[in-house]
Structure 1
Amino acid sequence: MAAALIYFWMNLTPSVAASEQAPADFEVKRAKPLVCKVGAYITSLHDLNPSTGSFRADLWVWTLCPPVGGYEALKHIEFPGANSFELHNYWHVVKDGSSWSLVKIAGEFRARWDMRSFPFDRHRLVIALESEEDAFAIRYTLDKSDNLQSLDAIPAGWKIESSKMAVRRIEYQTAFGDPALIEQQSSAYDRVEVIIDVARDEYSSFLKMTGPVYVIATSALMIFIVALESASILLSRLSLLGASLFSDVINMQKGTSELGAQDIFTLNDAIHILGLLLIITLIEITVYTWKVNATRESLPTLTGERRWVFTAVVLYIACNLALLIEAGISG
């Protein structure tokens, strides 16, 4: 019996000791994270869509890690800013002392589109790759190359102003249940960001969007060619000016929808509002002129009316030019 107890004790002791040493071994492992180089090459940017707050991209991503335990970094990444993505042509090989992984990524990514200065708008598109393992286990550095994107990676109507990569340490205010982090209640992960600064390189869409405003304004001004000499002319003017107001509002709503800018004030909105102010001013001039005629004041009606209209037009043109210049500078 004593021999059995001694045998049981001798077999139990190593397992207990091992279990007590496990956390220490675990901490040593976490104190020496695996450091991997990450590189990227963008082959295509397309479907840049401010109305949906997204864009699509195709790019190659590779990692170079120490050949430890057959670790393949690209099998342990996620894309925090992706609506959807697919991985193609995955490749892994240990070569020249590095565990090299390569994959092509095609996905739709979210972006914050600032359309306030459209068509002089510039945007920063970011494709983020984050490790599934925290910074105690794996860390990223950049494998810098001369070119980050193909020369024809951007669609017509846009241009790439700059592109770069960066590594950020992202902190989450939770330990995700990790026993080693339970006291500090936070965790950190390395994130690689592929950053592309793009700018609009066409103005035809802006002309299509705002052109009707200037047509409406010109049509409203043409009705002042005929002097306000009768009630029928008054009614005709007010009817045409009212229709001009309605057309301006409808065109502004259409432009806002196309830009996906319902919650911000854009250059397109400002130009349409100037058009509304011009038409409202023309209505006030018409009503005032009719009152002048009705009271038979000595002011020459036709001359006075045209002077007021001319002043309103000059202010309208000046304000439009100021808006365009300001948007071009701030964009």
Structure 2
Amino acid sequence: MLGKIIRSLALFLLVVFAVPALAQTTTDPAATTDPAATTAAATAGQVEVYAGAYILRLTNVSPRDGTFDVDMWVWFRWKGNSVNPVETFELANGIITNRLPNPQTMDGDFNYATARVQATVYHQFDVRRFPMDNHVIELEFEDANLTENQLIYIADTGTSLDPGVSVAGWDVALLEPSVKSHVYDTDYGMHATGESAAVYSRFTLPVSLERTSYGVLFKSFWISLLSVVLGLLAFLVKADDLDARFGMGVGSIFAASANSFVISDSLPQTTMVTLAEQINLIAVGVIFLSVFISIWSLRLRYKEQEDASLALDRWAMLILGVVYVALNVLVMLVDLS
């Protein structure tokens, strides 16, 4: 009887302790999956595409319209047959107006394809420092169909500018190409995907436009300069010679104002006071002060204080000339916008 009790107790202990221990040693294979293996599986379908470009022309660079045109060759190198990037790439910041792909060929182990592309590209030009403004314009390439999980760009070697590329008023230089992820915070209405955002690989070609000459400054403001000079020369005319004295000053104000309208028409709408507007405001302000001082000088002559009137004219011409030059140097050296 005692032996049966001992055997029953031993069987109970075996069930209580041995079975759970056995269950712990039999682990679900999915629970022990290597995280690195999981990452590799997620990117197994990702195709690396080497991309480059040779820019032939940059034309119609328009800060006012916020656009420029580009003519270039682009190329792609990749392995496998699951993608055809030369047919599916797009400019994220522009519109391709003409695409002429060449037949696909092989470059060693890589598929190789090129296309001649003409496009209009959009860019928000910062004109606060016009006409001494520098810019970095960009060409942003993305695949129109494949997300970053399916296709990722790599900047290829050989990307460059043709030596004949020029843009009037700027020196042109190609900067370092780059690749980054661009997130579109939308599922484009495809709710079944379960993704709240789409990530695409973006290949960017930056091109710098740098002012290296004061020629544009002179061409833009020679009328304003001439208007100020004429306004100051009016001080050499006697204040009681009304037609000549005040005609020169008032005419100078209208000339400077007209020049301001012409320059503003060539720039985009902005709430900031640009360098061009600052230079024109200085010109109009100096001419207005010259007219005000002419009235003061005329009143002195009416009081028969001719010597005081002549002295006022001489000092006003000198001081206003110095102030005009100094203020222009200040706004060109210091960004007051």
TM-score for the superposition, normalised by structure 1 = 0.80
Indicate which of 69, 90, 96 corresponds to 1:56. Answer: 69
Counterparts of 2:175 and 2:114 in 1: how far apart (Å)?
A: 20
Does the alignment pair 1:128 with 2:126?
A: no
- The verdict on how the C-alpha distance between 1:29 and 1:101 changes in structure 2, with shifts beyond 3 A counting, is farther
Aligned to 1:292: 300
Does the alignment pair 1:194 with 2:205?
A: yes
SS of the residue corresponding to residue 312 of structure 1 reads helix
Aligned to 1:153: 165
Matched letter for residue 141 of structure 1: I
Aligned to 1:143: 156
Q: Gaps spanning 5+ residues in structure 1: where? A: 1-27
Does the alignment pair 1:211 with 2:222?
A: yes
Aligned residues: 296
Larger radius of gyration: 2
Q: Is the 8 A contact 1:148 1:164 kept in 2?
A: no
1:99 Cα offset (Å)? 1.9
- The verdict on how the C-alpha distance between 1:179 and 1:307 changes in structure 2, with shifts beyond 3 A counting, is closer
Counterparts of 1:325 and 1:29 in 2: how far apart (Å)?
A: 54
Indicate which of 68, 87, 97 corresponds to 1:85. Answer: 97
- The verdict on how the C-alpha distance between 1:84 and 1:250 changes in structure 2, with shifts beyond 3 A counting, is farther
Deviations 1:49-69 (A, max 9, x none): 222211111122111122134
Aligned to 2:35: none
Counterparts of 1:162 and 1:319 in 2: how far apart (Å)?
A: 35
Aligned to 1:40: 53
Counterparts of 1:74 and 1:298 in 2: how far apart (Å)?
A: 82
Over the aligned positions, Cα root-mean-square deviation in angstroms equals 2.6
Counterparts of 1:112 and 1:122 in 2: how far apart (Å)?
A: 12
- The verdict on how the C-alpha distance between 1:257 and 1:190 changes in structure 2, with shifts beyond 3 A counting, is same
Aligned to 2:232: 221
- The verdict on how the C-alpha distance between 1:58 and 1:251 changes in structure 2, with shifts beyond 3 A counting, is same
Q: Is the 8 A contact 1:148 1:163 kept in 2?
A: no
* Matched ranges for 1:299-310 at <5 A: 300-310=308-318
- The verdict on how the C-alpha distance between 1:201 and 1:259 changes in structure 2, with shifts beyond 3 A counting, is farther
Q: Is the 8 A contact 2:174 2:207 kept in 1?
A: yes
Deviations 1:184-227 (A, max 9, x none): 41111111111111213444333222001111111112222122
Counterparts of 2:263 and 2:296 in 1: how far apart (Å)?
A: 33
Percent sequence identity is: 19
Q: Is the 8 A contact 2:237 2:245 kept in 1?
A: no
Deviations 1:62-97 (A, max 9, x none): 11122134x211212121211442112433124422
1:251 Cα offset (Å)? 0.7
Aligned to 1:273: 281
Counterparts of 1:317 and 1:205 in 2: how far apart (Å)?
A: 18
Matched letter for residue 152 of structure 1: G
Q: Is the 8 A contact 1:67 1:97 kept in 2?
A: no
Q: Is the 8 A contact 1:285 1:309 kept in 2?
A: no
Counterparts of 1:177 and 1:119 in 2: how far apart (Å)?
A: 45
Q: Is the 8 A contact 1:36 1:140 kept in 2?
A: yes
Does the alignment pair 1:257 with 2:265?
A: yes
TM-score for the superposition, normalised by structure 2 = 0.79
Counterparts of 1:166 and 1:41 in 2: how far apart (Å)?
A: 15
Q: Is the 8 A contact 2:128 2:273 kept in 1?
A: yes
1:325 Cα offset (Å)? 3.7
SS of the residue corresponding to residue 132 of structure 2 reads coil
- The verdict on how the C-alpha distance between 1:100 and 1:83 changes in structure 2, with shifts beyond 3 A counting, is closer
Deviations 1:12-66 (A, max 9, x none): xxxxxxxxxxxxxxxx677632222112221222222222211111122111122
Counterparts of 1:94 and 1:79 in 2: how far apart (Å)?
A: 25
Counterparts of 1:279 and 1:290 in 2: how far apart (Å)?
A: 17
Matched letter for residue 202 of structure 2: R
SS of the residue corresponding to residue 195 of structure 1 reads strand
- The verdict on how the C-alpha distance between 1:48 and 1:192 changes in structure 2, with shifts beyond 3 A counting, is same
Indicate which of 88, 92, 97 corresponds to 1:76. Answer: 88
Q: Is the 8 A contact 2:101 2:113 kept in 1?
A: no
Indicate which of 80, 103, 111 corresponds to 1:99. Answer: 111
Q: Is the 8 A contact 1:217 1:278 kept in 2?
A: yes
Aligned to 1:174: 186
SS of the residue corresponding to residue 250 of structure 1 reads helix
Counterparts of 1:201 and 1:310 in 2: how far apart (Å)?
A: 31
